[in-house]
Every structure is written in C-alpha cells, then in structure tokens.
Structure 1
C-alpha cells in the first residue's frame, strides 16, 4: 500500500503534543531514582569513576546507558541546567516510538495523530516523559526492535537493539526473552540474528559489570535481594491480591477498593484485543501479531514482577501502556473513529490526564518543595562534602545536599549489605554499620531515632536531634485549588535530622 501520510502534519502535531505535555514539567514531579542516576553521572564527570560516593566504584544506578546519556547532557548543559533538556529528549524519543507504533497500525494521517495524542497522555506515558527516568528511551528501543526487527525482519535490528535495550535496564531480559519465543512461534523457525543480539547483550553487560565493578549483576539488584525480606508464598499471594489488580490498569489508585475499576478496564481491553485479532487475522497479520505480543508482554511482565512483590511503579509503566493499547486501537480502527474519539476524549482522556495532573502536582510539590529543601538545608550547614549521611531514600536529599551517602537498602554503599540485615535484623545490622561508618548525620522517620530499637543503645548518646521537618508544614497553599490537592494527596513524610556529637568517639 502506498504511503499516503502527510508527514508534515504529523510532525507539527507531534511538536504541539510535546509542547502540551511539557506543561507537566511545571509540576516538578521527578522520581527519586532519576536523581540517583544523575548523581552517578555527575560522579563520572567529577571523579572519572562510575560510582556514587567519590572514587568508590559501585553500580548504584539501575541503568548504565542512561547514566552515560546523563553524562553527555550534564557536560553540555551544566549541572544546574541539564534537567529540562534531558526531559525533553526523553519525551521526543517516547513520541517517536509512539509514532512508529502508530504507523504499524494505521495509514491515515488523522488516526496516527490521534494515536500519538491518546498514547502520549496515558498516565504512565506522562510519567515516562516527566519523571526523568530512562523509560522514554527504553520505549523507543522496544518499538525500534519491533518495527525494524519483528515486522520488517532487518537483521541489524535483531542484533543491535537488544544490546541497547539490556544496557538500558537489565530487567528487559523479560521483554527480549518473550520476543524471542514469540517470534519463533510466529515464524516457525529459529531467529539466529535475535539470538546473537541477545547473547551479545548479555555478555557485554556481564563483562562490563565484572571487569569494572567486580560483580555480575548491578549492585542495585544485589542490595535489594540481600536487604529486603523474602516473603513466603502465602505472603506473596496476599500482597499480589491486594496490590496486583491495580497494576493491570492504566492508573494505580492509592486505595485497593478501586482495584475493581482497573480490573473492568483490563477485561474491556481483552475484549478489544479479541475483536481486533479477528478483524486483522488474515489481511493485516502484522498488526495482529504486534498488538498480541505487546499485550502478552504486558500480562507476563506484570505477573512476574507482581508475584515477586516488586511494587515500584516504574516496572509497570510500559506494560500498562501495552495492556491499554487495544482500547485506543478499537476506537481508531473503527469507521466511526471521529465519534468514538470524542467519546474517548470525554470519558477516558480527560479523567486520566486530570488524575495524573493531580498526582504530579501533589507529588512534585512534596518532593521539590520539601525533600529538595531538606537537601539544600544540609548543603548550607555542612561545607565538608566528604561527610556521610545515613538515610533513605538516596534521591532528592543526597542529590541536593552533595554529602556522601549510606542508604538503608545499600543501593549506593555496599557496607550495609555486608552487615546482612535480613539475617541479623535491622536492629543489629544498622547498629554495626553506624559504629563502623560513624556517619556525621542520620535522617530518620522517627523520634527517638529508629524508634529506640537499635541493638547498641550507646549510639543514642552519640547523636543529637538538631532539626525536625514536618510534611504538614508544606502540604498547604494559599491557592484554594492547590491546597485541596496537597491535602488530598500529601507527598512525603516527617523527617528528623540527627547529628553526631563532636565528643562521640
């Protein structure tokens, strides 16, 4: 079929969609983990070492490739000015990925523009643009592999894209493994190029980790494995029943009672998928296999991470988009797509975008005007950046304080992992670490520090409370609308800052 697309119109529409979505930048909603990656990138610039605390090598970020991208952006734009250019870069890559995906399904200019608009403003797609993490780039790589490899059968894509994908996130082995299996089933033959790409991806990441860090997998994975408790099967099932249904929907509600609505949306999406596959099965087989694989990936990835009780939102952003796509496709593939698009705008687009706007405004306010200011306060009172602070999480506060950090999970410093807190318990593990590391500051959720439960009680004599930070002091505004949003969804928790006494030995 001849390409009848008006690419100029699509390009202009995409620019306008990016500009419209850029309004979310003003919420200053940036994920803590992005700041970890950016600090690792800064560490490379300042020390020439892939690490977090000076010259100590540690794979503190979950993504190697995005760290190197962060190095480029910080080098070009400077430490204080790189964030928004990087967010725009993420958004552009995400939008290109959505455009490529739209072209696989439609040969109509209007439908592709609407597809870009609808997908771009799904809550996870908004977060992939504004939260500063690597998922906009990852979605771009995923769709590039599907477009040029899975559909157009170009061997270079099967070899190159898996390397880029696995270097972006190591948990993308799920996507690559499922695509390999699915492709064999569909093609009824072995995909040698994809196998070579997968092997090169695994070997290159393992060799880099081994020769640079002396480890096979990233420290972030090792530390979570070692310092998070391992629930029983019954506990996993209980958590999955409570949290899991939320992650099969397009939004994650804070109260489990709303899981019912996400389940209904998921069932509707399955029905839409069945209808589309029946419609496309013979004449438009490529469309059918692409949407079937994406939906299959969304279901399997959600089940795998859900049963592992991995409830970090970002694990599910791309799967959530994949699970919702059949609903958008059924709207746009209809002969009455204009009427259905208006209905979609009213009943889904506006509510979903509004929900994410409220979430981002509240969360961005709490993180930027609360957590960031705690970091700036520490920066102002402690000129010696060689001193350590013991806290959780290792995001906003360490980034803006510029202090060296030990976090409660061991993501950015391996000494906590050495204390084996799962085996010894936090009371003993934290006590041992504090006695050995002697951090100058401890930032805690409780008063007294660690609820007075540390195994070594003498530590309490070594530290004094110097500052209290209360979330209620910032969860308010003179603007009545913002005040309602902040109170509806307060973001943050109380913090208590303890300082090591100068007389402590």
Structure 2
C-alpha cells in the first residue's frame, strides 16, 4: 500500500487531481462568497465597457484585487456566462500547486508524508473556503507558496522580484506577508536581499501609481468606503469583546462566546507546544525549514491579531492565516508524533475528514440560504427585464447586481462613491437622501423596512417613500429556515444565519 501511495504522490498531476476531487462536493452546496460577485461584475464591466468599474463607464476600484479582476475577465471572455465553475476549478488547481510547493519544503525526501500533507491541508476548512468560494485566495495562496518555495527555499533571484509584484497586485495587504518573510530571509542569510526590496518597491509603486492615474486615488476605493460606512459599526470597544472577536475569526467555531475564546486559547497553546518541539529538535528539521515554519506562524498570528483588533470583520481575510496554522500543525503531527505511519496517518486522516465534513455541512447551510433568498430575489427582479439603464439601492452588492445587471447604489458605497458622499453630508439621513436624489427603480432593504434606527426617516420622508415606491415582496429568513431540509433546520436552530429582505419598486 505504501508503494502505491508513494508512486501516486510522486506525480504532481495526480496530487493536483486528488486535491481537486476533494473540493468538487463543495461546488454542489452552491456556497459562493458574496464579494466574489463584485469582482466578477467588475470583470464583466471591463469586457463590456472597457472600464475597470462596476456601473458602465464609471471608473471605480470596487474590487479589492486587480489581478483577480483580470483573471476573471479572461475566464468570462473564454467561457461566457458559464465561467464560474471553470474559474473555481482554476482556483482549486492553483491552491493545490501551492500546497505541493509547501510540501516540498517541509518533506523534501519523504514522498509519502508530503502527499498526505498536501491532501490533508486541502481538506481543512480554511483551505476549502479559500479555494472553492470564488474569492482571490486560491491565487493568493499559490503566490505566497511560490515566494516561499522559489525565493526563500530555493533562492531564485527572479522569485524575489516577481512574486512581491504579483502579490501586491492581488491584494495590497500582502505587504504584511512580505514584511515577515523579508525578515525571515534576512535571518537566514544575514544580509539584505536587494532583489526582494526592489520587487516590493516595484509592486507598491506600480499598484499605487495605477490607482492614482486610473482611479484618482492612492488605495482601492473599498478601503475608503469601509472607513466611512463602518466607523460606527462596532461601538463596543471593551477588551473582552475584542478578544472574543479575535477568537471568532482566528478559529473555526463561529460563535461569539467565552467558550470559543477558551477553545482558541487551547489551540494556540498546542500550536505553541508544536512550534517549540520543532525548533528544539535538531535532526528532523533543517534550519531554513524551521525559519520558514516560524515565519508562517508569525505571519498568520500577526494578520489575525491586527485585522481582528482593527475590526476587519470579514471572514475571508482570515482564511489563509488559518491555512498556515493548519500547515504548522500538520507538519508537527506527521513528523513528531511517536506513532507508526500505519496508525498515525489513518488517525490524522479521520480527524481531518471530520473537519472536511464540518465545512461541507456549513457550506450547504450557507449555500441553501443564499440560493433560496438572494438568488431568488435576483430572479424575481429579472422578470422585469432589467438592464444597466435601471437602478437599485441595496446591500450587499454581490449576487443581485451581478445577475440583474442593474446600475447599483450599495449601502456601504463599495461600488458607488455617491453613497459615501451622502454619508459624509448627512450621517443620519443619508439613506433617505440617496433615495430622493438618485430615485432608484428598485429598493431592497435588509433586516427592517424603511424607517427605524437604520433606515432613518423624517415624517415627510414616509409620505415621499409611500408615494413613490410600492412594496413588492418580503423574504423572511425564518420562512427559509422552516422550509429547509431537516438537517439544515436543525443547524439553523443552533445557529440562525441570514436576515430578512424587503423589496420595493418605483411607482
């Protein structure tokens, strides 16, 4: 059996194929991250209008990633409306290749352990999310691993220059990763790496320069919009709240509670023990590999801590840091646990299989909810034969604008700066002022109907809204939960997800 696995694992093609087969069941859950549709619409807009934007010929950096916009545009040009699954498969392949490169660093001579490392890492929940849910993180992991493998491990000068540029064009916050690994490279070589510095400088100058010359701004508009829209998002600045958020986003358990925090602390304790054993042991792990593993660990914990304490409350920011934490744990389990391979590997496999089914069930839970609500809303609006010449005011700006093609005003202002202008002019009544000024053909509210603490209105605003808009349909989340398959009803009972929506149309 070992000979069979060694023969299969020695061939990268079979390893990539096996990793891809692991991910395919996730596609059937229809779980796709909402923000991926923002990038995909920007890519569609580039093809249709020749402009990087969201609404026709209006330039705006509505997507956080320039490189993935170009990749998505290429897939839409080749596959048309059926591009989504090809681009997801491409993302999974890139993630698998990145995990193989990482495996070659950690297990350069043990083909069997390397193969199981690759498969088990691809089964972990954050790896599934990063490669299957439509965001740019499959590409990003490929580039992260490429820099570590070809640069830090194999010392290729071209890698030190090329990968920083590609990383910064994928996401500007990859500067954290570049900073950590620049220090790791300095620690290994004991001298300044000039190509690494030049690659970082070229990446920053080219991205910032492009943003300024093309969009008239130094950073992506999404950063500016979130700063304006979310400044009062979390008024609770207590230390216990911030620590709970840190554990919520750093771990896998999506509950904001003391138990989640304690479990995460326990996990970090085990991680610290594993790191100590790896560093202390002298024969199993070469010096360069130890530095890479510690750098991976430092990057992951630094990003999780910085982003959670800066209130970056979006789960996808934390996918790849969690992947790297799993990589360190896997290395320890496969190399340091004193059990024979015939006992050790099946035990680890069963544990990771449980984690995989946990993610599969979670994706089914989210995918069902979104397919029966947001996608259904898009289908209902599409019956009006919508186009870019009609408009909608809503939140969020992902699936519904993508499928309906409507000109979009979103409540955060990610895809339309005019919303942010309204927020700056009137912090309390910006939403109603936007309805008056822009006169959208459709209005979709979330959680509540217009009025109340969020959609604030003056007395005369109620009359205006009733005169100009008619209520079309509500989409209560409780009804979706009640009509879900039995297993999902049970999960929704433990952890309800989703919110109510209310659709209005201009009279």
Same fold, TM-score > 0.5, yes or no: yes
1:22 to 2, 21, 24: 24
Counterpart in the other structure of 1:416: 419
Query: 2:41 aligned with 1:36, yes or no?
Result: no
Equivalent residue of 2:470, what SS?
strand
Kindly indicate whether the alpha-carbon contact (under 8 Å) linking 2:248 and 2:255 is maintained by their aligned counterparts in 1.
Answer: no
Equivalent residue of 2:481, what SS?
coil
Kindly indicate whether the alpha-carbon contact (under 8 Å) linking 2:208 and 2:219 is maintained by their aligned counterparts in 1.
Answer: yes
Displacement of 1:20: 2.4
CA distance in 2, matches of 1:235, 1:424: 25
Counterpart in the other structure of 1:271: 273
Counterpart in the other structure of 1:402: 405
My pick for the range that moved more, 273-282 or 368-377, is 273-282
Counterpart in the other structure of 2:354: 351
Structure 2 spans left out of the alignment, 5+ residues = 1-5
Counterpart in the other structure of 2:450: 449
My pick for the range that moved more, 20-29 or 132-141, is 20-29
CA distance in 2, matches of 1:100, 1:87: 20
Displacement of 1:274: 0.9
Equivalent residue of 1:442, what SS?
strand
Query: 2:99 aligned with 1:98, yes or no?
Result: yes
Query: 2:465 aligned with 1:460, yes or no?
Result: yes
Count of matched residue positions in the alignment of Structure 1 and Structure 2: 493
- Measured at CA, do residues 22 and 232 of structure 1 come closer, stay the same or move farther in structure 2, by a change above 3 Å? closer
Counterpart in the other structure of 2:314: 312
Query: 2:124 aligned with 1:122, yes or no?
Result: yes
CA distance in 1, matches of 2:104, 2:440: 55
Structural mapping, 1:63-82, within 5 Å: 63-79=65-81, 81-82=82-83
My pick for the range that moved more, 58-67 or 171-180, is 171-180
Kindly indicate whether the alpha-carbon contact (under 8 Å) linking 2:247 and 2:260 is maintained by their aligned counterparts in 1.
Answer: no
Equivalent residue of 1:20, what SS?
helix
Kindly indicate whether the alpha-carbon contact (under 8 Å) linking 1:74 and 1:82 is maintained by their aligned counterparts in 2.
Answer: yes
My pick for the range that moved more, 436-445 or 60-69, is 436-445
CA distance in 2, matches of 1:387, 1:288: 57
- Measured at CA, do residues 405 and 435 of structure 1 come closer, stay the same or move farther in structure 2, by a change above 3 Å? same
Counterpart in the other structure of 2:292: 290
Q: Please report the RMSD computed on the Cα atoms of aligned residues, expressed in angstroms.
A: 2.3
Write out per-residue CA displacement over residues 94-113 of structure 1, whole angstroms, 9 at most, x where no aligned residue: 00000110111112121111
- Measured at CA, do residues 63 and 378 of structure 1 come closer, stay the same or move farther in structure 2, by a change above 3 Å? same
Kindly indicate whether the alpha-carbon contact (under 8 Å) linking 2:387 and 2:407 is maintained by their aligned counterparts in 1.
Answer: no
2:390 to 370, 387, 391: 387
- Measured at CA, do residues 284 and 49 of structure 1 come closer, stay the same or move farther in structure 2, by a change above 3 Å? same
Kindly indicate whether the alpha-carbon contact (under 8 Å) linking 1:44 and 1:50 is maintained by their aligned counterparts in 2.
Answer: yes
Displacement of 1:473: 3.0
CA distance in 2, matches of 1:209, 1:281: 49
1:369 to 372, 376, 380: 372
CA distance in 2, matches of 1:277, 1:193: 28
Counterpart in the other structure of 2:432: 431
CA distance in 1, matches of 2:283, 2:335: 14
Counterpart in the other structure of 1:83: 84
Displacement of 1:429: 1.7
CA distance in 2, matches of 1:475, 1:194: 51
Displacement of 1:381: 2.0
CA distance in 2, matches of 1:342, 1:446: 46
Counterpart in the other structure of 1:225: 227
Kindly indicate whether the alpha-carbon contact (under 8 Å) linking 2:222 and 2:414 is maintained by their aligned counterparts in 1.
Answer: yes
- Measured at CA, do residues 261 and 387 of structure 1 come closer, stay the same or move farther in structure 2, by a change above 3 Å? same
Write out per-residue CA displacement over residues 387-420 of structure 1, whole angstroms, 9 at most, x where no aligned residue: 1111100011111121111011100000011123
Query: 2:143 aligned with 1:141, yes or no?
Result: yes
My pick for the range that moved more, 352-361 or 430-439, is 430-439
Write out per-residue CA displacement over residues 455-484 of structure 1, whole angstroms, 9 at most, x where no aligned residue: 462442332212111223332457533443
- Measured at CA, do residues 337 and 64 of structure 1 come closer, stay the same or move farther in structure 2, by a change above 3 Å? farther
Displacement of 1:258: 2.6
